[in-house]
Amino acid sequence: MFDRPLDCLAEAGAASRALHAVRPGALAAWLAEREPGQAAYLTASGFSAKAGERALLPGPDGVAAAVLGVGDDTSPFVFGDLARALPAGSVWHLVEGDYDMAAAVLGFCLGAYRFERFRTAARAPARLVVPAGQLAALRSAGASWMVRDLINTPANLLGPKALAAAAAALGERHGAAVTVIEGDDLAKRFPVIEAVGRGSVAPPAVVRFEWRGPGAAADAPLLSLCGKGVCFDTGGYDLKPAAGMLRMKKDMGGAASVLGAARMIMEEELPIRLVVRIGCVENSVSGAAMRPSDVLQSRKGISIEVGNTDAEGRLVLCDMLAEACEEQPSLLVDCATLTGAARVATGPDLPAFFCNDETWAERFAEAGRLAHDPVWRLPLFAGYDAWLASSVADVNNIAGKPFAGAIVAGLFLQRFVQPGIPWIHVDLYAWNDSNRPGRPEGGEAQAMRAIFAAARRLCVAETKHN
């Protein structure tokens, strides 16, 4: 269900039309190589090769070719309209030019995505004959489609059990050792997650899978990934207003993005060890649900006062971070749709991240930039740590002040991370509010490619260190 093929691809060797991509500075020379009628048509129509500008080129049998202006854009997204803008069902091949072929293939596929599982009729996208050597781009696109499908699936069809099954299936498909922790075992190993989920009729679970790349030694770098998988968030007793619940099926977007990154790592067979933890839970209201002012005992031994039941994401993560640290990972990364404050600070398209290690902060930011998956660092400002004080427990899950919500959430999580372990916390939106080239409205795989690129850097960094 969450591993569907890319239906925007055509078989190698299929009859196809030429698709050109041109920059403004090369337009004159490119026009000089076209048939006189095509060149005259483009010139008369004012085609200037600005980013996103498209034109179909006429031929004896109708449409002979197409041209895309890319301006000075080097991202995949300049190619993101093609699959839906070109004639439905038509088949194309990219003509080499002054652009990155991998970015073009990725952008074409990202733009072809639509979540149409429940529609009786769907428009077929244009299809692309992909040149040899683009497997990495196709794997990235496939992982993005999987993440988007997970996020877009409504909560009645993707509850904690279904999310756990999807995570377990991904691990098993790649030969990972998979464990599903639930019931009494969950209460012992992850007591805070169990407390968050006990208010729902859908029991919570944690999926853990462990994988080692071919050729990776027993002491190869260990990357640990943790994902918040809140399949629906009512806010609990601190109930969200109706408008605030409309997109809460996406509250498992951190888990989805972690699974997408894990998929890319395993498909690329990176020479590392990988451990993934996904907290699968629903935050509901019932007589069994946690209440404001309840005190929870965490795995790490830190007691937590529940100042607000709608700040459940950090509760889902804290026990997983504590267990992950017991394994002494080379790098620990968590992803969560955690705070509205992060969206206020950096907007919907730029995930905020926090890091306790300067070297890895620089590496992660660079990885996101190079992968066209940008992230932006916010500070773990120790001066706000006292805001989490509780009069009855070691820590409150919210601050007593209405400021710096994303920073405070990061400071809460930092208490569960062992000093000395490099840790990155990603606070993401996981959603596109509207249709844009390569980014259709709905669930989005944010920080996924950045994490994968960081995993590659982990291999290099550890090799140089040793």
Please list the active-site residues.
Answer: 240, 314
Residue 367 · residue 450 · CB < 8 Å: yes
Alpha-helix residue ranges (DSSP H) falling in 75-206: 82-85, 101-112, 135-152, 160-173, 183-189, 191-197
Residue 122 · residue 115 · CB < 8 Å: no
Residue 84 · residue 108 · CB < 8 Å: no
Q: How many CA atoms lie within 13 A of 237 on its CB side?
A: 16
Residue 321 · residue 417 · CB < 8 Å: yes
Which has the closest alpha carbon to 170: 283, 261, 84, 284? 261
Burial 314-327 (b: 16+ CB within 10 A, else e): bbbbbbbbbbbbee
Q: Which helix (H) or strand (E) holds 354?
A: strand 352-355
In the chain, the amino acid numbered 238 is D
Which has the closest alpha carbon to 137: 18, 9, 51, 259? 9
